[in-house]
A and B are shown apart, each in its own frame.
Chain A
Amino acid sequence: MSDPPSYEELSANFSWSIAEQELGHQPGDPINIGWMCSDRICRMGLANKLALHWEDYQGNEKQFTFDDLRVLSNTIAHFLSELGIRPGERVCLFMDRVPELYIGFLGVLKMGGVVQPLFSAFGDESLFVRLQDANTSAIVTQKKHVHKVRKIREHLPNLRYIILVDAGESPLQQSEVSFPMDQARRIEDFAVYPTTAESPSVLHYTSGTTGQPKGAQHVHYSVISQYLTAKWVLDLRPDDVYWCNADPGWVTGTSYGIIGPWSNGITQVVFDSGFNAERWYEFIEKHRVTVWYSAPTAIRLLMKEGTEIVQRHDLSSLRHLASVGEPLNAEAVVWSQKVFGTPFHDTFWQTETGCIVITNLPGMPVKPGSMGKAFPGITATVLHPKTYEAVNQTGIAGLIALRPGWPSQIRGYWNNEAGFKAKFKNGWYLCGDRASIDADGYFWFMGRDDDVINTGGHLVGPFEIESALLEHHAVAESAAVAKPDPVNMEVVKAFVTLKRGYDPSGDLELEIMNHIRKRLSPLAMPQEIEFVDCLPKTRSGKIVRRILRCKEFHEPVGDLSTIMDD
């Protein structure tokens, strides 16, 4: 097998048109991700190639060829069209990692809809704010999650349909329809909606420091970046068996759990299971996984389980490993080299970038603990936090910034032009993270530049947590900040003042934790609650999270001149 090309070779004369040419666009072809990941692959002669081998924790398995993807996504597209869902309308996918989620993603795109994937562990409040903001027309879900939709249904007048993929004989309520994909009449031919490069495709919600989560608006042209980065960074080759741990409720799960591999015609395996080291290694061994895209949190959990468990399995099929979510610590890189014979390659990107932008490419030396270098075609630097001028000195921390214009960059935030504009300074897109660059052009992560909490690779906004905390009958005021954590990098810690008549107790702490877990999600649940008499505030009464966060990280709190004396 040939060695991957070097960074310099890939960077020389780079142009995104490489992807355009390789994707083989022909006159009359739609620029539609759903079509490109299924019909186009069949046209390349790969109709009978395995596209998806799905398995769940109970051992149930299903297999789908690329022709199955084509026909079943047609079937879903046809079903939605018959319901009256029109191109441009938002269709939410709210499911566990079942085949209907992956194939439904292609189906919604084929009928011109905008896919709104949401993490199935979201509670009703998290679900509500996202469906309301997106003005979602239909939601596709499972029996086990439908009660959360039913709870908020009456407050969502634009939600016309709740589609259940596993209703069986269960009674349906108003607006609910059953769609058992396996039993539906297979639609061989479907007129794919003629989306263009700039047609909206996916609406992923992401958290910020202030306000509710923002809908990051992607377009069909994003496939250019996702195709090429999947091929080059994940080193995908025709005979690979690829496993991406990410849930398609988050952007990794769609950019590299659906679009990247399938636009490359790659076989992928999906394991609908929570973490279990033994089961994960069995899964790799059984399916002969060659490329594995995982996350630092999972890798650190595997490290905790030791190396003996690794030695009990034949993992020799693994050829390339990559990681995303939060910075991968040097120990994890060294450990993976030792136990798997190849290191996890860290990759950096975010919902708004749509594709990997800073990375360790297979053909470049890995510096353990580094994020790697800018992907060819991406201009990345670090900026001075006040002047927004490039820091042209090695080793000096600044704000990670990208020159706008790569294909998968989001085109805006849904209904939030001001929020989108605020992400740009001095002609640069600001990622919201801090890093330094060394003499070889490698980026080294330093931390977030705002109050957003990166827990287990997922961004959680403090505002959303604080709002939900205030819904609890005992809570008077609250502040949510990041706290360092050896496995998840950061976890949520809440500072709470109580209303008169309530006293701090272990029972109350547990009650508040469970309240947040159910209303928002397990990710948003504070792993610790500290009851305090008062919170630090500015003279105008605004809570200053910075002070609380700095204390958790044992960092200097800086200027306190605007803080109210108490």
Chain B
Amino acid sequence: MDEIVKVVRDYVTREYLEEGDEREITETTPLISGGIVDSFSMVSLLRFLEKKYSIHIPDAAATPDAFDTVQSIAALVRRFQKAEV
């Protein structure tokens, strides 16, 4: 599994799934539309990504759509990792 996907998936599972929530987070689990991460909580996830990968993701790119799955989040991280190089 892609390292970024694993890190994001583990972080979302640890920080955003409530205890007793038996859903398994996969690469394609809907996070925003599935109610696991809401638009307010997105900010803390954004901070985590920026800190972990030393990148800056502008507000315009941090859309609910871009944060809706682990897969799309990983793609977003890779995009801005390249941009920072």
A residues sitting closer than 8 Å to B (CB atoms) are 57-58, 96, 121, 143-148, 272-279, 297, 301, 304-305, 455-456, 487-488, 491, 506-507, 509-510, 513-514, 517, 522-523, 525, 527
Q: How far is the CA of A148 from the CA of B65 in the complex (A)?
A: 29
Tell me whether B43 and A146 are in contact (CB under 8 A): no
- Count CB-based A-B contacts (< 8 Å): 88
Q: How far, in Å, is A115 (CB) from chain B's closest CB?
A: 22
Tell me whether A513 and B18 are in contact (CB under 8 A): no
For residue A513, which residues in chain B have a CB less than 8 angstroms away from its CB?
Answer: 43-44, 47
Chain B residue nearest to A516 (CB atoms) is: B44
Q: How far, in Å, is A308 (CB) from chain B's closest CB?
A: 13
Q: How far is the CA of A148 from the CA of B21 in the complex (A)?
A: 11
Tell me whether A527 and B43 are in contact (CB under 8 A): yes
Tell me whether B40 and A522 are in contact (CB under 8 A): yes
Chain A residue nearest to B50 (CB atoms) is: A506
Main secondary structure, interface of A, reads helix
Q: List 7 A-B contacts (CB under 8 A).
A: A143-B22, A147-B19, A274-B38, A278-B65, A305-B65, A506-B47, A522-B41
Chain B residue nearest to A458 (CB atoms) is: B40
Tell me whether B48 and A510 are in contact (CB under 8 A): yes
CB of B32 within 8 A of chain A?
yes
Tell me whether B51 and A272 are in contact (CB under 8 A): no
Tell me whether B33 and A274 are in contact (CB under 8 A): yes
Given contacts A145-B18, A510-B44, A527-B43, 14 further A-B contacts (CB under 8 A): A147-B19, A273-B34, A274-B64, A275-B39, A275-B64, A276-B64, A301-B64, A456-B40, A488-B40, A491-B40, A514-B15, A517-B40, A522-B38, A525-B43
Tell me whether A276 and B48 are in contact (CB under 8 A): no
Q: How far is the CA of A522 from the CA of B41 in the complex (A)?
A: 5
Q: How far, in Å, is A527 (CB) from chain B's closest CB?
A: 5
Q: How far is the CA of A7 from the CA of B15 in the complex (A)?
A: 50
Tell me whether A510 and B20 are in contact (CB under 8 A): no
Q: How far is the CA of A190 from the CA of B60 in the complex (A)?
A: 55
Residue in B47, B63, B68 whose beta carbon sits within 8 Å of that of A510 in the complex: B47
Contact (A510, B40) CB under 8 Å given A144-B18, A279-B33, A305-B65: no
Tell me whether A517 and B18 are in contact (CB under 8 A): no
Chain B residue nearest to A148 (CB atoms) is: B18
Q: How far, in Å, is A31 (CB) from chain B's closest CB?
A: 36
For residue A145, which residues in chain B have a CB less than 8 angstroms away from its CB?
Answer: 18, 20
For residue A143, which residues in chain B have a CB less than 8 angstroms away from its CB?
Answer: 20, 22
For residue B68, which residues in chain A have a CB less than 8 angstroms away from its CB?
Answer: 276
For residue A305, which residues in chain B have a CB less than 8 angstroms away from its CB?
Answer: 63, 65
**Digit string of B16-36 for contact with A (CB within 8 Å is 1, else 0)?**
001111100000001011111
Tell me whether A525 and B44 are in contact (CB under 8 A): yes
Q: How far, in Å, is A76 (CB) from chain B's closest CB?
A: 23
